[in-house]
Structure 1
Amino acid sequence: MNAHHDHTGPHDAGSAGRPVPVTTAGFTEEPHVTLRGPAELAEALPYTLGFFPTDSVVLLALHGEHGRFGGRLRLGIPPSPREWTPVAEQLAECLVEGCERRGARPDGIVVFLCQDPARGESGRRVMERLRPFAQKLRTACGALDVPVYEALCVSDGRFWSYCCPDSDCCPPDGTALAPPGTSVMAAAAAYAGIHVRGSLRDMEARLRPRTARPAATEQERALDIASAALVHRILSTEARGKVRDDTIRLARSLVDRLADHPPLADPDASDTRDDALISHQEAAELIVGLQDRRTRDRAAEWMEGREADHALRLWRALARRCVGAYGEHAAAPLTLAGWVAWSTADEPSARVALGLALEADPEYVFARLLHQACNEQLDPETLRECLRGEREARIRAGVRRPPGTRAAGRAGARAVRRGLRAATGRSGATARATPDTGPGTPGPTGTPGPHSGARSARRRPAGPTGTTGRRPAGSPSGTDAEDAGGQGSAR
């Protein structure tokens, strides 16, 4: 083992010439995986996150003399170098403080910068371009008295170390990563039943709007028509109840329709087939209807068993239909997709969906609370029990109420949020989007969002906006207080 490998890890791990044992997030008691040097660290990264990070900065906390992996944190690489200093400081603070809240300040940190080359760019050029960011991350961690043991750039199937000056150990052209599935971490993951879901880019593509013309134009026109027909009814005391019932009835029919067509082996082909099963009008009516929070909370009840699988396909399909000026409308189906993924123990997919929901609308309360709860490794059963209780109360009220009267249980959305806030122990009024973190490493409030870099500007509280900046006429908006009176809302 070369000198660089000998000294990759905590203070005494290299000096004694011993390999660095690492227990990654996702493994509980067994197996313990020993990683020897930067090559195996780079190859292990997708298994600690559940996917191959693209365009991401990842920080992994190390604990103890053997360098056991603790919390992890991922953020999209800010495109502007002007953002690198404040982002580096916030990321370091987020990871260290998060670990401290769980009672274990990290002894060291490993930094990864993962980005594919742009057209005409080499992996080595990516590494050099990101070198100042790596240095700022090392400086920010050092300012908190937590050293960075290793900083790696992963690009174009190769990796480079920012910490090793030895060209014999770390050649200027980088070191090739092992073929997928052949590393020691891949073997351990297969043994533990851990699945890598592909690249972050592929996971996001399943949830982002599909903008190919003319389908996108037809979908936006259908959304215009649905907004004109439904928004004023959602905001009407007399009509909103029927709109909610009609929206849930339509969603139920689409879930059943998708259940009649099992997913295909190829994810892209399966998504394309799902899109074809849902008309533009159906998608538009359901997207607009889900802007009402109580309707959305009722839809969140499809969270378990095979029903959850079919509902997840529907929420993904609706997110892909939020085109043009209706980008913010995607927050509702994306949050539902994130909730179903988290409820069914797919935390990597949940974080991706919730991150995109917060990208669509950073002030979407339900997404913020779910993202925080997911990052803090809370048990989703707390929210499942709340939703089951809401469903049972609604059913009982529907049986007892006289004809022509309103059902009881008007505060369904508030009850759902109370369940989440009780679990997180924080007020939804102060919760903010946090970077993706691992077990025991929640991001503090006020940290940057999962895809937004150092975004600090506040968006409008509700309602759709798009690349054109226009807001469709009559779009619903609201605040948390509105739900107390049963008002329609997009939160």
Structure 2
Amino acid sequence: MSPDNTVQVTSLPQLAEILPYLLGHYPDDSIAFHAPGPNFIDGPTMTCPLPDDPAEWKAAAELAALQFVAYAHEKRHDPGQGVIIYLCRDPRPDETPWDTAALLAPVTDWLTLTLLNERACVLQTIGLVANRWWAYECTTEGCCEGQPLPPADDPTSVKAQMARLGRTPGPRTRDIVKEFRPATADPDFLKDLDSAVAQFNARCATSAGRDATLTSTCAQIDAAISQFRAGATTLNRTLATQLVVGLHDDGAVEAGMAHTDDDDLPHARRLWAYLARHCADPFTQEAVPTLTLYAFVAWRQGDLIAARLALRDALTADPEYDLAVGIHLGTIDGEDPRDFLATARENRNHRMAHIQHAVQVASEYRPVTDSTADRHREALDTATEYHSAQTSTNRGQLLARYGTIDIIGGALADFRNGPSRLMDEIAARIILGLQDRETRDAALSTGDENDLPIERQLWSYLARRCVPPHTDKAPPLLTLLGWVAWRQNDTVTASHAFSDALDIDPHYSLAKHMLDGVRTDCDPAALLAVCREEAQRFAAGRADLDNL
């Protein structure tokens, strides 16, 4: 500060009352640190929550001291030049201020010892309880114990000095968190929220369901923001509960971050706070995404205190929530929230393009729903009985295995020569034959690239015939299709086909292995070499059939 703007802190009472000016808020039930800079109020500060249970205070104090030393060093400040500690706690209903101050006294020893071990020097430890202060370094009995903070009309008080500079103390933590923390539970809302969670989980059991739910949630975000922009302060319960659970999709949270321009920040802040306030116990974890969105908006508005308090609640409920962790570190490291916004918008656009492509891709192989579905169902019903009887012996299994490969060869020839149609009986026999994993492996594409379009047509054609209740027979077809698409460098179709196979059978190992290969940018050439070796071994195995 310039000489004209200097704040004099020359007494313990002034040291006690300056805390909300240092932090920008008054921290209820917290440990606060300040390492004074050249003008005293310069220098790093940090607050850490003081748990409700005194049995947890020792561990909390030691961890907080270590975190502050690390933070001070990150800010290029030597905590060896001095640290001031504040212990803030309101008396509980059965406590006097003196009881609470005595309960806090051991915390000073744990903090001091930890800081000394880290070569940090403690200048003072101030207790702030019920608008009174204690200086724990003072050893004179009855001195510096429970004195009231200086009144505002004291011309030497920090409040008076700050008032002359046009500055006001920050609000209390408990007043800030009222904006986003539940005060009372709405039983009807929580009942509907419980149902919405179950519905969300059911809808998201498949890739297609997840994509459809994400699309719906993004539209609901737009609708809710529009309502709040128009002056709304509430949402209907159905929309609110669906939004809360829908935001558990990372794509929806990115849409929430990316969706609002600067003019919409106040409306978005009110929306996320409204949703978070409705997630009362035992549904506090459902609020983690909305608290994170609230914190992001507050950060963009420059309200770091509210942002960090909301993030504290989010990370208390879910310490592993990556976005909350990232935003929290961003607020500490002084990053620009606009960088997060740009990333969110890029990811949102990418996801939406992926979903749009998924719809197009799925049309290639999703089971038909037109008038032919009954015919395909009947063909599979009939063929299932025949196939089960045929494969009841070892010789029958081998006959079915090599017979299926021969039929596939004939089908591919038919596809090369004309319209892509097979007799229902032939198509059903191939589908059932490919349920055998050795047959499926032998059918994996091993030919030249010129053969791939025809193979792709065949597997898509057969997958579309796996109508209910025969949907469970689709994974081999989808895996073969995905493999061909991968060989064609169409990793988008490959990913969707493998994912849909795993939606039907989560344990279908070949689809999982290939999907992992696509996601890690593996070269399919190595797998192709293995497939060609397997095809040769399979062809050589015909001799076993002749010897049976």
C-alpha offsets along residues 108-134 of structure 1, whole Å, 9 cap, x if unaligned? 110111111111422122111111112
C-alpha offsets along residues 310-349 of structure 1, whole Å, 9 cap, x if unaligned? 0111111111111343221111100000111111111011
Structure 1 position 83 matched with structure 2 position 84: no
Q: C-alpha distance in 1, partners of 2:154/2:205?
A: 53
Tell whether the 8 Å contact from 2:217 to 2:252 is kept in structure 1 after alignment. yes
Tell whether the 8 Å contact from 1:35 to 1:41 is kept in structure 2 after alignment. yes
Tell whether the 8 Å contact from 2:254 to 2:348 is kept in structure 1 after alignment. no
Report the CA distance between 1:52 and its aligned residue. Answer: 1.5
Report the CA distance between 1:278 and its aligned residue. Answer: 1.5
Residue in structure 2 matching 1:37, options 2, 7, 11: 11
Instruction: For 1:421-440, list aligned pairs within 5 A.
Output: none
Tell whether the 8 Å contact from 2:87 to 2:127 is kept in structure 1 after alignment. yes
Question: Which structure has more RCO (C-alpha within 8 Å, separation ≥ 6)?
Answer: 1
Give the aligned residue type for 2:323: F
- Corresponding position of 1:201: 174
Tell whether the 8 Å contact from 1:330 to 1:357 is kept in structure 2 after alignment. yes
Residue in structure 2 matching 1:245, options 215, 218, 223: 215
Tell whether the 8 Å contact from 1:303 to 1:340 is kept in structure 2 after alignment. no
- Corresponding position of 2:379: none
- Corresponding position of 2:290: 333
Instruction: For 1:14-53, list aligned pairs within 5 A.
Output: 31-53=5-27
C-alpha offsets along residues 219-255 of structure 1, whole Å, 9 cap, x if unaligned? 1111122123222223421122221222122222222
Structure 1 position 236 matched with structure 2 position 179: no
What is the Cα-based RMSD across aligned positions, in Å? Answer: 3.3
Give the aligned residue type for 1:290: L
C-alpha offsets along residues 189-242 of structure 1, whole Å, 9 cap, x if unaligned? 668776655211122232223434xxx210111112212322222342112222
Distance 1:94 1:183, change over 3 A: farther
Instruction: For 1:127-206, list aligned pairs within 5 A.
Output: 127-166=101-140, 170=144, 172-179=145-152, 185-186=158-159, 196-206=169-179
Distance 1:187 1:236, change over 3 A: farther
SS at match of 1:300: helix
- Corresponding position of 2:326: 369
Residue in structure 1 matching 2:92, options 103, 109, 118: 118
C-alpha offsets along residues 419-446 of structure 1, whole Å, 9 cap, x if unaligned? xxxxxxxxxxxxxxxxxxxxxxxxxxxx
Give the aligned residue type for 2:287: A
Structure 1 position 323 matched with structure 2 position 280: yes
Moved more, 66-75 or 136-145: 66-75
Distance 1:223 1:158, change over 3 A: same
Higher helix fraction: Structure 1 or Structure 2?
Answer: 2
Report the CA distance between 1:184 and its aligned residue. Answer: 5.8
Distance 1:383 1:361, change over 3 A: same
Give the aligned residue type for 2:269: L
Tell whether the 8 Å contact from 2:33 to 2:45 is kept in structure 1 after alignment. yes
Distance 1:101 1:355, change over 3 A: same
Q: C-alpha distance in 2, partners of 1:399/1:233?
A: 15
Report the CA distance between 1:160 and its aligned residue. Answer: 1.3
Report the CA distance between 1:299 and its aligned residue. Answer: 0.7
Residue in structure 2 matching 1:255, options 215, 219, 225: 225
Tell whether the 8 Å contact from 1:58 to 1:111 is kept in structure 2 after alignment. yes
How many pairs are equivalent? 365
Give the aligned residue type for 1:244: L
Structure 1 position 359 matched with structure 2 position 316: yes
Segments of 5+ residues of structure 2 without an aligned counterpart are: 363-514, 520-548
Q: C-alpha distance in 1, partners of 2:106/2:165?
A: 37
C-alpha offsets along residues 430-479 of structure 1, whole Å, 9 cap, x if unaligned? xxxxxxxxxxxxxxxxxxxxxxxxxxxxxxxxxxxxxxxxxxxxxxxxxx
Report the CA distance between 1:71 and its aligned residue. Answer: 1.2
- The TM-score normalised by the length of structure 1 is 0.67
SS at match of 2:84: strand
- The TM-score normalised by the length of structure 2 is 0.60
Report the CA distance between 1:186 and its aligned residue. Answer: 4.6
- Corresponding position of 2:83: 109
Structure 1 position 93 matched with structure 2 position 66: yes
Tell whether the 8 Å contact from 1:304 to 1:343 is kept in structure 2 after alignment. no
Q: C-alpha distance in 2, partners of 1:53/1:181?
A: 24
Structure 1 position 345 matched with structure 2 position 315: no
Distance 1:244 1:101, change over 3 A: same
Give the aligned residue type for 2:231: H
Q: C-alpha distance in 1, partners of 2:229/2:155?
A: 36
Tell whether the 8 Å contact from 1:303 to 1:344 is kept in structure 2 after alignment. no
Distance 1:173 1:187, change over 3 A: closer
Tell whether the 8 Å contact from 1:157 to 1:177 is kept in structure 2 after alignment. no
Report the CA distance between 1:366 and its aligned residue. Answer: 0.7
Segments of 5+ residues of structure 1 without an aligned counterpart are: 1-22, 263-273, 407-480, 486-491
SS at match of 2:44: strand
